Copies of this chain bind each other. A is one copy, B any other.
């Protein structure tokens, strides 16, 4: 699905009509929940803006990964992850060199996605592709695409 193409609204709202406890059943998101429930593997493709995914994707997460759908509070620090058994692939691109998030940002992007989000909802298997120099003619863009294709051919077997 293409969140921009679909005009997805990434703003999570709580108010008298949209109560937090009902978020997991928000009718606007029913189709997305069905897709996530059905899928064994979730693939996120996004550019890095300021060291993290764009607001559009993060807002999709804010709205979708609700208590009662993605996790269930058990009173302790960590909840019961309701998306257990699924795996995730994140393909991210950036203008600068691919080593920048690792060396300068201490992998903050991966920590935010892997630990703060996926681990919390029960997803342990997260594979990252981080591709840099996307605007450079020397960036070997085709080779990057091939790398992703190869990976998916292998896991699809």
Contact = CB atoms under 8 A, between A and B. Distances in A.
Interface in A87-109: 96-97, 100, 104-106, 108-109
> How many copies make up the complex?
2
Contact of A112 (B4, B13, B61, B108): B108
A116 B108 contact: yes
A133 B39 CA distance: 34
Interface stretch (A46-54, A123-131, A144-152): A46-54
Interface residue range, chain A: 20 to 34
Interface of A: 4, 10-13, 49-52, 54-56, 58-59, 61-62, 65, 77, 96-97, 100, 104-106, 108-109, 111-112, 115-117, 120
